[in-house]
Amino acid sequence: MTAGVLLSGCDTDQVSLATNAKANQPVPPKLLAAMVEKDMDLQSPILVRLFKQEAELEVWKQARNGQFVLLKTYPICRWSGDLGPKVREGDRQAPEGFYSINPSQMNPQSAYYLSFNTGYPNAFDKALGRTGSQLMVHGDCSSRGCYAMTDEQIAEIYSLGRESFFGGQKAFQLQAYPFKMTPANMAKHRNNPNMAFWKMIKEGYDHFEVTRQEPKVDFCEKKYVFDAAKPADAKRDPVFDASAKCPAYVIPEDVVSAVREKQGRDEAEYAKLVARGTPVARMNTGIDGGMNKIFAAKIPEGSTGLSEGAEGTTLQMLAMAKAPGTIPGHVNPPKPNLDAVATAPAPQEEPVVAVSAPAAGTRVATAAPAEKSQGGGFFSNLGRKMGMGTADTTATTPPPQATASVAPATTSTTPPTAASRLKAAVTRFVPGHDKSKDAAKDAPKPAVAAAKPAEPAKPDTRLAQTRPALKPSVGDGAADSGQMSGAAPAVSSNSFDSRFGAMK
What residues are labeled active site?
138, 146
Rounded CA-CA distance 353/393 in Å is 36
Angle made by CA atoms 363, 367, 373, in degrees to the nearest 5: 120
Rounded CA-CA distance 77/84 in Å is 19
Rounded CA-CA distance 209/192 in Å is 24
SS (H, E, C) 92-112: CCCCCEEEEECHHHEECCCCC
| Other beta carbons less than 10 A from residue 425's beta carbon | 22
Note whether 473 and 108 are within 8 A (CB): no
SS (H, E, C) 295-362: HHCCCCCCCCECCCCCCCCCHHHHCCCCCCCCCCCCCCCCCECHHHHHHCCCCCCCCCCCCCCCCCCC
DSSP string, 25-41: PPPPHHHHHHHHHTTB-
Strands 97-101 and 78-79: unpaired
Rounded CA-CA distance 35/50 in Å is 21
Rounded CA-CA distance 325/76 in Å is 11
Integer CA distances (angstroms), 266 to 164, 187, 223, in order: 34, 10, 22
Strands 46-51 and 172-177: parallel
Q: Please give the DSSP secondary-structure letter assigned to residue 444.
A: -
Note whether 100 and 171 are within 8 A (CB): yes
Integer CA distances (angstroms), 323 to 93, 105, 292, 304, 360, in order: 25, 28, 10, 15, 42
Rounded CA-CA distance 433/421 in Å is 16
Rounded CA-CA distance 168/112 in Å is 27
Roughly what angle, to the nearest 10 degrees, separates helices 253-275 and 195-211? 130
Rounded CA-CA distance 229/251 in Å is 6
